[in-house]
Amino acid sequence: MKVALLQTPVSFDRQRNIDGALESLRWAAENGADVAVLPEMFTCPYANKYFPVYAEEGVGPTRASLSAAAKELGLYVVGGSIPERADGKLYNTSFVYDRQGLEIARHRKVHLFDIDVKGGQRFMESETFTPGSDVTVFDTEFGKMGLMICFDIRFPELARLMALRGAQVLFVPAAFNMTTGPLHWELAFRQRAVDNQLYMVGVSPARDEQGVYVAYGNSIAVSPWGRVLARMDGYANRMVVELDLTELARVRAQLPLLSARRTDLYEVKGL
């Protein structure tokens, strides 16, 4: 399965962002990709004050464009994430489309990024967004895939649930910052891959030092053995990486982590 990692730049112009994403999707198809993955919040600046302004309700311009592109190009499209308005609430949501342009998955970010460090950084997604509550696994011609968004990757329970539900690849549109990115980005993707013996694919927006939010970039693909197969730098880029899904069985036979679990012990009493 060939996956395109599309590390696109983000501007204040939503249509320009959508057009850039569509151009990258065309590039992915021309370069043999089966699946194309866009970044978290690829249509708007990453800041609470902008999320309500750029939010789309129902099948807005972004969803319509991604669906049409998936159908035209014959691609699976993991549509990064956008601010979604539904039922009077805002969500950080990723939509997935199959080769016919049909929506086959929707993941609303489960774990919201809330930090308030005395004398340091304050960023509270919960002031704007409502958390989702789904463990998102979807079917493709290649097998089951999982989907999470950014901060979700820090919670091993969520990745494990997806692995137990048969996911072979976890797609993670994400926007780590310049503090956490250098220390934790590669570590998180390699650890989730090793823990669950599956592929991890993370796609970030391109870095913009003058932007309202400076993303780390470094979009990445990691094998079930924890090997980094591909990694970008911080800036606008795109690449196609081939994932050999038969490797999952080989790795799990060589190191039987999932079959050796002691589920009879994994319960914390009194909580």
Residue 136 carries which side chain, given as an amino acid letter? T
- Chain centre distance of CA 56: 19
Task: Select which of 44, 84, 109, 125 is catalytic.
Answer: 109
For residue 78, what are the contacts with CB-CB under 8 A and spacing of at least 6? 35, 36, 37, 38, 94, 96, 147, 171, 173, 203
User: How far, in Å, CA of 115 to CA of 230, rounded?
Assistant: 30
Task: Select which of 49, 150, 186, 267 is catalytic.
Answer: 150
Annotated catalytic, 44?
no
Q: Residue 151: what are its φ and ψ, rounded to 5°?
A: -55, -25
Task: Select which of 40, 56, 84, 125 is catalytic.
Answer: 40
Is-contact 20 51, C-beta < 8 A? no
User: How far, in Å, CA of 74 to CA of 31, rounded?
Assistant: 12
Enter the tokens of residue 125. Answer: 């997604």
For residue 134, what are the contacts with CB-CB under 8 A and spacing of at least 6? 106, 107, 108, 110
Enter the tokens of residue 220. Answer: 């990445």
User: How far, in Å, CA of 162 to CA of 249, rounded?
Assistant: 16
Enter the tokens of residue 240. Answer: 């196609």
**Cα dihedral across residues 266, 152, 61, 218: positive or negative:** negative
Q: What is the enclosing helix (H) or strand (E) of 18?
A: helix 14-30
3-class SS at 144?
strand
Annotated catalytic, 150?
yes
Active-site amino acid positions:
40, 109, 150
